[in-house]
Homo-oligomer: A and B are copies of this chain.
Amino acid sequence: MALSDRKKRILRAIVETYIATAEPVGSKAVAQLAGLDVSTATIRNEMADLTDQGYLEQPHTSAGRIPSAAGYRLYVNELMDRQQLTIQETQRINDALNLKMEELDRVIDRAGKVLSQLSDYPVFTMAAAKERVTVKRFDLLMVEENAFIAVVMTDSSVVKNKLIHIPDGLSDPQLQMLSAVLNSSFVGLSREEMEDTLDKMETHTAPGAFQLIALVVEFAMEVLSGQREQKFRTAGITHLLEHPEYRSLDKAKPLMAYLSEDTDEPRLPATLDTGKNMNILIGPENVSDALKDTSVVMASYDIGDNMRGVIGVVGPTRMDYAKVTARLSYFADSLTRMFGKELPAPEDSEE
């Protein structure tokens, strides 16, 4: 059921003015903005049609029309112009990302912050290992009589360490031995497999040695969970309050709680795995209840070979999709490029 060209132009005019003004759009306004040489009455007829077909809604009789979710969807899919970024903006984005000395998390955080400032909406970020992560190697370093550093490197080249205190000292050969056991028995295993192996090992190993092994392996398991775990971060939540649909606190509160780290609840649709790069979820298309009146535009990017990240913008269904998608896709591309080139494998540690 294809729409006539005129209907499309009318719909587009309505979506765009509603996005700009946040107020229902009347036939008069459409007549001026759509650039059609027809009277308001004609427009009204067309608008009535569009309402019947489900692309528009009227908040109450005798106000203008506002786009429905389906209306936004059509707009996003067919009607929307792709916006160009200004040179200042691309510059800003590049600056935010090009701090190559900085580590992964901080770059991602920074990206979220800048994207939020550029789009005037809150932004969330997420990063997680794509698939099964394992430990590639263990290293142990004696630093004091009663403490050594365990260094764990995962197959996605992430390196983490921990200072481990032990009651009695450890001789060099002992340390070598420990290292050998770890590297031979626990390399290439997933978190769960490590747990199993550790359990089995307990029975036929000297208690003292086992305890040491367990300390390091537990740390390694922690590292692996940390890798798989999706770190959800947000930036610019206060931007929410700038938009009229969240002026009432009753509306703003649940969404804000959802976005801040306050709730322990499950997060956004973890579309980390979908092949698509850009994803737009409009209002009811969202699963979570807190997002029912909210749209999410998100893009994913690769971090090295083994990780994938998502960065997304959250706002009212009346979101400036053209603006947001333009900035977002540039961001995602830049991130992929930078994590591909500058950091051949994600370097890491700290904070």
Binding site for B on A (CB under 8 A): 101, 103, 105, 113, 116, 137, 139, 141, 143, 149, 151, 153, 157, 159-165, 218-219, 222-223, 226, 231, 235-239, 241-242, 247, 249, 252-253, 256-257, 260-262, 344-345, 347-351
Contact (A350, B223) CB under 8 Å given A143-B153, A149-B153, A262-B113: yes
Contact A160:B262 (CB < 8 A) given known A141-B151, A238-B256: no
Residues of B within 8 A of A262 (CB): 113, 116, 235-239
Please measure, in the bound complex, the distance between the C-alpha atom of A235 and the C-alpha atom of B261, giving whole angstroms.
Answer: 7
A345 and B163 contact, CB distance less than 8 A = yes
Residues of B within 8 A of A247 (CB): 249
CB closest residue in chain B, given A242:
B253
Bound CA span A253–B222, Å: 38
> Using Cβ atoms and an 8 Å threshold, which residues of chain B touch A226?
350-351
User: Nearest CB to that of A346 among chain B residues?
Assistant: B163
Q: Of B149, B165, B348, which one neighbours A162 at CB under 8 angstroms?
A: B348
* Cβ–Cβ contact B162 & A159, under 8 A: yes
Residues of B contacting A157 in the complex (Cβ-Cβ under 8 angstroms): 163
Other contacts beyond A164-B347, A226-B350, A241-B253: 17, CB < 8 A:
A101-B218, A101-B222, A139-B141, A149-B151, A149-B159, A153-B163, A159-B162, A161-B350, A162-B347, A223-B350, A235-B261, A236-B260, A236-B262, A237-B260, A238-B257, A238-B262, A350-B350
The 7 closest A-B pairs by CB, nearest first: A160-B350, A163-B347, A161-B349, A238-B257, A238-B256, A161-B161, A139-B141
Central interface residue in A157, A163, A219, A247, by most chain B CB within 10 Å: A163
**Bound-state Cα–Cα, A218 to B101, Å:** 9
- A253 neighbours in B (Cβ, 8 Å): 238, 241-242
Bound CA–CA A219/B223 (angstroms): 22
Q: Which residue of B lies closest to A112 (CB)?
A: B261
Cβ contacts A to B, 23 pairs, < 8 Å = A101-B219, A101-B222, A113-B261, A113-B262, A139-B141, A139-B143, A139-B149, A141-B141, A149-B151, A151-B161, A153-B163, A159-B161, A160-B350, A161-B161, A161-B349, A162-B350, A165-B347, A223-B350, A235-B261, A238-B262, A241-B256, A247-B249, A350-B350
A219 neighbours in B (Cβ, 8 Å): 101
Q: Least Cβ distance of A34 to chain B in Å?
A: 34
Q: Which residues from chain B contact A249 at a C-beta distance below 8 Å?
A: 241, 247, 249
Report chain B residues within 8 Å CB of A237. 237, 256, 260, 262
Q: How far is the CA of A247 from the CA of B250 in the complex (A)?
A: 10
B238→A160 contact, CB < 8 A: no
**Chain B residue contacts of A159, Cβ below 8 A:** 149, 161-163
Interface centre among A153, A157, A159, A347 (most CB of B within 10 A): A159
